[in-house]
Structure 1
Amino acid sequence: MESLEEMQSRHRKEQKDLQSRIMQKKKAATKKTRKGVNGECEELERQVKERQEGERLALNGEGDTAPPAGDSPRLDETMDEEHTEQLSNGVEEITESLDKSQVSEAPPENGQPRKRNRQKERLARRAAEQENAVEEAKKEAANQPDPKAVERAQMLKEFKARGLTEKTIRPDGHCLFSAVADQLSQVGIPLGAESDAELKEDQRYKVVRKAAARYIEAHPDDFVAWLDEPLGQYVHKIRDTAEWGGHLELLALAKTYNVEICVLQNGVAQNIEPDLAGASEPEKIWLAYYRHGFGLGEHYNSLRKAP
């Protein structure tokens, strides 16, 4: 069952994707279609708001049932559909213009042939070109490779080449910190002041979150230039919420635990090193980073040495 933090994380992503989708629709709208597009956008916002509210009530036991998660489509899953829809709208507008031209065209007089209607011919050519473009867009979308399958194949190839095996981490917004906690345990590095033996496996991410937040807060000059919000607010989100971690948190953790963090992504390894002036040679830990393989979006798994 989805937890409150998982649902909140998914809702934030759905709202972000929805706003991007609405912006694309409004940019593509013409004077003729603007009113309909605005109505469609308002309806999309209403549906997402009602569904998310229903999910929150259901999770709190105040509703009967929750709508299935994932009803709000992701932006990268709708681009081809919207491209095709825009082309189709163009065909409809041209066809309508042709119909008006045909209605207004005067019948032949005294048996004389009608005067050639060049505007009508241009519209017909444009309509045919748009129809061909629609068909080509559909074919191109159908022939696109599955990014999830391509990414997975590349990762498996790298795992085998480097002698690594993957430990799947729960996609709950804490995956980066849970994956780092698993790796630190594999190389025998204590997570923090709390005794590792007293911590349940699904709670160890909390110690790692606090360690990252503590380092960022203590070294503001290394991080404030990369933030879009006040440092204190950012530190609070990293320490106390399900906010996703990224490069800044990996850098903070590499320095905190004196480890070299190697992140595999699409067949390429990115190394994040601690201070080279450390007292001892840093241990190397491995993470797998996915952009397409998980429903909530970006995700980290732990990579252990293959037996």
Structure 2
Amino acid sequence: MEEAYLFQQMVWEQMDITSEHQRMIRRHHREKKELQARIQSMKNSVPKSDKKKRKQLLLDVARLEAEMEQRHQQELERFQENFPDNSDLDSITEDLAKMDIENQPPRVSSAQRRRERRAALERESLERIAKAEMEHMASFRREEEKKVAAILESKNLEMKDIPADGHCMYRAIQDQLVFSMTVESLRCRTAEYMQKHVDDFLPFFSDPEMGGTYTRDDFMSYCENIKRSASWGGQLELRALSHILQMPIEVIQADSPIIVIGEEYKKKPLILVYLHYACNLGEHYNSVKPLEAGAVGGAAPRLF
């Protein structure tokens, strides 16, 4: 009798653990529903026509879902660490059947099956989200490339792919120069020009996300970073390069007018293509070349 009583106490303790686990699972389910409601609200707040914000929205949604999935998984793992014997309830159930104590059903194996089923559904959900995001990005990319191709065709040009390695803007410039200049040299000369003419650039040096301005020291550090790293370039760097090369630079985009930097120079411009959806990292610069039909017998001629 004493042995049966002790065993019954152990079973009750295990049932309490199981109830705690079920409460955690129900909380996870509630949090997921709340997150989905939040995501729907986020989607409703961004116009479908604003493709840049829609792209960022997809990335934010994937991040929020991944963070919740990771947190839930960590809580499940901590629960298992705190109650390692919880996985042995199947054997307890078998012993209960042998001892004929209340003939308890196999609660744990059912809970385990439910956990496995939920985990499988969660994996499928994450896979669907990732697939949908890739499909959206691919759709945006195709549409953008189609529009850019039409603009370039009107200029008897086509896009020339540049590696997406952080140096793409400088490589696109390098690709169109008639003289040899390394990416490292372009970066170094760009940084030095900006540092020498800091008063011309500092008013336009701001946080692209928050819009706040930076200090002079921040700007000088930014210029040093241009030399030392594969940091992306933008309009400030293009302005410096235009002055260094003393020629205009055109930037073609799918849904915006052509930007011309260095209009005061009268040479034939360098032409860059700025893409929003070119790669997983997002924005990217490509070079251009004459249409293949006009580039017979080898490499396309230089544009400058």
Question: Into which bin does the TM-score normalised by the smaller protein fall?
Answer: 0.3 to 0.5
TM-score (norm 1): 0.46
Task: Give the number of the structure whose alpha-carbon radius of gyration is greater.
Answer: 2
**Structure with greater helix percent:** 2
